Amino acid sequence: MKKIQLKFYLPATLLVGICLLNLTSNICLAESNKKGKIEKKVLVEPVHVKVPARPAGQKHVLGLVTPKLETVRVGFIGLGMRGPGAVERFTHIPGVKIVALCDLHPERVEKSQKILEKAGFPKAASYSGYEEAWKEMCQRNDIDLIYIATDWKRHAPMTIYAMEHGKHVACEVPAAMTMDEIWDIINTAEKTQKHCMMLENCVYDFFELTTLNMAQHGLFGEILHIEGGYLHNLEDFWDYYEGDWRMQYNKTHRGDVYPTHGLGPACQLLNIHRGDRMTTLVSMDTKAINSPEYLIKKRGMNRDSAYNFKNGQHTLTMIRTEKEKTILIQHDVSSPRPYSREYQLTGTKGFANKYPIEGYAFQSDSPVDTSAIPDHENLNAHSFVSNEVKKMLMEKYKHPIQKELEEQAKKVGGHGGMDFIMDYRLVYCLRNGLPLDMDVYDLAEWCCLIPLSAISLENGSAPVVIPDFTRGHWNDVQGYRHAFVK
């Protein structure tokens, strides 16, 4: 086991409890003084992962802008569960030309061709029938953007190859599964100076966009803690993943293997790599029961094989930032519970919560503009504001992106409209030469929980240092903001 070393103080009354827990044999405690307080520090060394130096001549891509594209020429890879919906949404976005469609299965390509035909778009070039058809598509010189919607294991190789061939990339979540993949994607984006955006749709949820705007206007005071997660019983969906790739990945990998839906909104609220950064995480998990039992009852797998299941039924990861903020991220895809992304914000002046009930609460001296609040309302932090006040606040602080796109997004659809907003914003920024809403460092930070949570768990829930993926530039930009044409 790795030796652990982390500095913190403990009151003497906790010593007995810690000794009984015996979480690690490498914690050493100093004797208490006459007043019963610990005089010396407890030393626990966190696990460090390798941080490769930035190659000579390579520069960061914070705030990257590239030449305006009058028309964004797109090639899609992966036309199974998510891809066709993306193709359909792109037919509603101005300034788009769908050049090529690629999938291993020819019938899927033909199905997406019919989407183009129905929308009045010309037929796209087809690539299918063999494993590396996507490479041939990426080699075309008439494509600006490669849009990837395949299984997780193919995401990073396709992303890297596309950038190496001069393309911007938008990749479904999670875009990278290992630390090596994360660093290879970062280095390729920096070397090529191409945009690389992970398609995290939940940051465009209407409630989350509005809450972000409220936070940026100071309504919650200083934000100290965020909670997020992916709690979604996938029992009805396992058989729809081609080749059973998602179940097999959960069976063979420990840790939070799908963290981005919860972590993405949290990082935007806390300005991660835009004035703050995540520094340390600790993960814990439960044993797996429901997924092994599913494999036994639904697929006839023998008990020993089924219970050789690495992914815990419930995984929790606690994160600390440089500015002493905290984030709690959860993952559970097999428990019988309502869908939730656990979106919750705690600030010094207010509180926001999305699941299971959307609501806001505020301290009486919060910066909330009370001019439009009915006289009988008394802002306090003991309960959520009334539905009337919530509605008023959400209308007043509706995000500019939502104001522009909400009605069209609801008509086009895609998780209630947030998928359309995600795609629209991607094209909007490329056409106008603006920084994208999410950059390659967001991709790295939001995906790193996959390998790092596993490292923590395999080391007895040891603290693990989260690398600075910007390699020294996390404080160059102050505050997360969306870019708009001025």
Question: What digits encode the pLDDT tens for the residues 151-206?
Answer: 999 999 999 999 999 999 999 999 999 999 999 999 999 999 999 999 999 999 99
Q: Confirm whether 384 is domain-assigned.
A: yes
Query: What global pTM score does this model have?
Result: 0.91
Q: Confirm whether 159 is domain-assigned.
A: no
| 42 or 11: which leads in pLDDT | 42
The least confident of 8-22, 130-144, 448-462 is 8-22
Tens digit of pLDDT for each residue in 197-227? 999 999 999 999 999 999 999 999 999 999 9
The terminus-to-terminus CA distance of the chain in angstroms comes to 55
What is the C-alpha to C-alpha distance for residues 251 and 242, in angstroms, rounded to an integer? 16
Amino acid 244: pLDDT: 97
Average pLDDT estimate for 53-74: 98
Statement: residue 25 has pLDDT above 80: no
What is the bridge-based pairing of β-strands 344-347 and 350-353? antiparallel
Q: Confirm whether 300 is domain-assigned.
A: yes
Amino acid 365: pLDDT: 80
Q: Confirm whether 316 is domain-assigned.
A: yes
Report the candidate in 42, 21, 46, 36 with the shortest Cα–Cα distance to residue 320: 46
What is the C-alpha to C-alpha distance for residues 135 and 479, in angstroms, rounded to an integer? 38
Average pLDDT estimate for 86-93: 98
Residue type, 436: L
Amino acid 41: pLDDT: 58
Number of domains into which the chain is organized:
2
What is the C-alpha to C-alpha distance for residues 80 and 117, in angstroms, rounded to an integer? 18
The least confident of 312-321, 357-366, 435-444 is 357-366
Domain span at 228 = 203-400+441-465
Q: Confirm whether 458 is domain-assigned.
A: yes
Specify the CATH number for the domain of residue 234: 3.30.360.10
Q: Confirm whether 318 is domain-assigned.
A: yes
Amino acid 278: pLDDT: 98
Statement: residue 34 has pLDDT above 90: no
Q: Confirm whether 434 is domain-assigned.
A: no
What is the bridge-based pairing of β-strands 278-285 and 315-321? antiparallel
Handedness of CA 360, 445, 163, 190 (dihedral sign): positive
Statement: residue 253 has pLDDT above 70: yes
Taking all residues of the chain, what is their mean pLDDT, rounded to a whole number? Answer: 91
